[in-house]
Chain A
């Protein structure tokens, strides 16, 4: 199965959104790769697919899904997995990711990333499903930590412990969303640095960076802002711990002009390069 271990560092990407289709196709950009929302391209034909294939000629494409529902107690959707695999094969996706969550039950789909209880029961359930999904897709997947707004009474593990064990036991990757770690750390009052430090180094395939909004009693993961300072700080820590991991800036609402988005990605590159260069300094050098 691919990727064998950690995927190659493909640098800095942004989400491919229709607001930027024309710009991305008309001239070179300074981003290294694009991430797509898989479901938006799991269609029969038309413009989005055509655009995607044209973008793919010039850039690596990473597939990021929202409907895998890995934590649901409903059966896995084989039709969905078939189509996901076909798209991944067709665009030769660098890798495929989704979220550590469930999206519906009883045949319903909420189209939302719903939180898991971090219990032994849920752990067994998720591990066995990740293994079956990876089998079906013929490739390993990465799971992202979602932002969350509640904790279940049934949770006996922390989220980072749960994620780490899933990754080890199911042999999958982790898409570490730095903004989500921050948002959840405020919402649930945990230490985001300790969270990161309990994630195994070699399991993290990708970072997400994004903005959120403050609702007083909680932070909401909105992807409608530039990356805020506390998230940049946490990103520095993440690069220090996990190294030069491919990084994506997410911006899904109030989508800015291309140049603004590109600049945010370039900023991530600058931050990452600085940390990585410092790590490479021989000891004693200042």
Chain B
């Protein structure tokens, strides 16, 4: 299997050009041959086929061989996004999700060494798509799914205990653990999330398709799942990790400005009282202090408060 006298040498593109062409063709949304035609039409290539770069044989033409890579590329990334956004995928159905990802990868191809970050701009992209006219709440649902992933492997931190908080008393300066985020939703998507989570738990995972693995284009797409449209209302939602479990909950109007202040740069207890009185959530200092005590108890119970001086690695 050494030099066979054909093709090697001066006619072949150099390594850089080979890789660029390879990428352009496997990322082409309709496959290698249409991608090749597009390159020719735009004057970026003159060769009629790929034999100057890839060897074909009696089994497969050069374009077919490259198509194997094109399929692997697309299906691996599509399946990864389907794993990151299972509830978005369930609502719009497999076929629409497939098409959505096709457009998404053109707009936002992966630029990170980890597949973990592929979905970063997904919710924003979704919001800009026609789909969001039929499903205006879908981007918020995607934000929720994504935040849960972010919190899953956010940095660890030591959590302040109730006793430690009692010792610190009113001097306590409250900071939150890194695995905390607040999402300013326009739609109340938590009930849909819960509903779909319940459905998935009773589905036994039979829906996972492995097209990426088989490279089989004749897959059957999951039908869209009909769900009730959620209410359109501002629903600030807290997502956090306690121990190794990720949770989320909707924040009541008294809690969200307080928690937001704590999340920004930490907050002292008297400041929380001022926030509550300033926002006219509470009429006086006494009522505000009672509310703050209640909030603090809840945050400690949820494991949201970081132990002061703890530096995460």
Interface residues of chain A, those whose CB is within 8 Å of chain B, are: 39, 42-50, 67, 69, 72-73, 77, 80, 102, 104-112, 114, 117, 119, 121-122, 125, 149-161, 188-190, 213, 215, 217-218, 220, 222, 224, 253-254
Q: Is the CB of A190 within 8 A of B1?
A: yes
Distance of A154 Cα from B6 Cα, bound (Å): 9
Least CB distance from A221 to B in Å reads 10
- Assess whether B166 is interfacial by the CB under 8 Å rule: no
20 further interface pairs, Cβ-Cβ under 8 Å (given A72-B19, A105-B22): A44-B154, A45-B153, A45-B312, A69-B113, A102-B19, A107-B111, A108-B23, A109-B109, A110-B26, A110-B73, A110-B110, A111-B76, A111-B110, A150-B55, A150-B68, A151-B55, A154-B18, A220-B215, A224-B210, A254-B210
Distance of A218 Cα from B69 Cα, bound (Å): 13
Distance of A112 Cα from B113 Cα, bound (Å): 11
Q: A152-B18, A153-B7, A153-B52 are in contact. Are A109 and B113 (CB under 8 A)?
A: yes
CB-CB contacts below 8 Å: B129-160 with A: 152-157
- Assess whether B214 is interfacial by the CB under 8 Å rule: yes
Q: Is the CB of A154 within 8 A of B8?
A: yes
Distance of A120 Cα from B65 Cα, bound (Å): 23
Q: Which of B9-17, B268-276, B303-311 contacts A (4 or more CB under 8 A)?
A: B9-17
Pick the residue among B20, B77, B154 that contacts A111 (CB under 8 A).
B77
Q: Is the CB of B214 within 8 A of A218?
A: no
- Assess whether B224 is interfacial by the CB under 8 Å rule: no
Residue of B nearest to A46 (CB): B153
Pick the residue among A45, A107, A117 that contacts B155 (CB under 8 A).
A45
Least CB distance from B211 to A in Å reads 11
Q: A45-B153, A105-B23, A253-B213 are in contact. Are A150 and B54 (CB under 8 A)?
A: yes
Contact flags B70-113 to A (C-beta < 8 A → 1, else 0): 00110011001000000000000000000000000000011111
Q: Is the CB of B215 within 8 A of A215?
A: yes
The total of interchain contacts (Cβ-Cβ below 8 angstroms) comes to 162
Least CB distance from A97 to B in Å reads 16
Least CB distance from B152 to A in Å reads 5
Distance of A222 Cα from B216 Cα, bound (Å): 12
Contact flags B18-38 to A (C-beta < 8 A → 1, else 0): 111011001100000000000
Pick the residue among B15, B68, B179 that contacts A149 (CB under 8 A).
B68
* Chain B residues with CB under 8 A of A42: 114
* Chain A residues with CB under 8 A of B20: 105-106
- Assess whether B190 is interfacial by the CB under 8 Å rule: no
Least CB distance from A104 to B in Å reads 7
Residue of B nearest to A116 (CB): B15
Q: Is the CB of A156 within 8 A of B2?
A: yes
19 A–B pairs (Cβ distance < 8 Å), ordered by A: A39-B113, A39-B115, A39-B116, A45-B154, A45-B179, A47-B152, A73-B15, A77-B113, A110-B23, A110-B73, A111-B73, A117-B15, A153-B6, A153-B52, A154-B18, A159-B1, A213-B213, A254-B210, A254-B213
Distance of A149 Cα from B244 Cα, bound (Å): 41
* Chain B residues with CB under 8 A of A45: 153-157, 178-179, 312
Q: Is the CB of B60 within 8 A of A218?
A: yes
Distance of A69 Cα from B15 Cα, bound (Å): 14
Q: Is the CB of B15 within 8 A of A119?
A: yes
- Assess whether B3 is interfacial by the CB under 8 Å rule: yes
Distance of A223 Cα from B149 Cα, bound (Å): 26
Distance of A107 Cα from B109 Cα, bound (Å): 9
Q: Is the CB of A156 within 8 A of B62?
A: no
Q: Is the CB of B18 within 8 A of A117?
A: yes
Least CB distance from A96 to B in Å reads 15
* Chain A residues with CB under 8 A of B110: 104, 108-111
Q: Is the CB of A46 within 8 A of B55?
A: no
Distance of A234 Cα from B64 Cα, bound (Å): 28
CB-CB contacts below 8 Å: B248-296 with A: none
* Chain B residues with CB under 8 A of A104: 23, 110
Q: Is the CB of B1 within 8 A of A44?
A: no
Distance of A254 Cα from B205 Cα, bound (Å): 12
Pick the residue among B18, B76, B112 that contacts A112 (CB under 8 A).
B76
Q: Is the CB of A112 within 8 A of B153?
A: no
* Chain A residues with CB under 8 A of B57: 189
Distance of A190 Cα from B9 Cα, bound (Å): 22
Distance of A198 Cα from B274 Cα, bound (Å): 76
Distance of A139 Cα from B52 Cα, bound (Å): 39
Q: Is the CB of B60 within 8 A of A217?
A: yes
Q: Is the CB of B68 within 8 A of A73?
A: no
Distance of A50 Cα from B110 Cα, bound (Å): 27
Q: Is the CB of B69 within 8 A of A114?
A: yes
Distance of A150 Cα from B66 Cα, bound (Å): 7
* Chain A residues with CB under 8 A of B12: 117, 119, 152-154
- Assess whether B53 is interfacial by the CB under 8 Å rule: yes
* Chain B residues with CB under 8 A of A50: 156, 244
* Chain B residues with CB under 8 A of A108: 23, 27, 109-111
Q: Is the CB of A218 within 8 A of B54?
A: no
Q: Is the CB of B8 within 8 A of A155?
A: yes
Q: Is the CB of A125 within 8 A of B178?
A: no
Least CB distance from B225 to A in Å reads 25
* Chain A residues with CB under 8 A of B244: 46-47, 50
Q: Is the CB of A153 within 8 A of B53?
A: yes
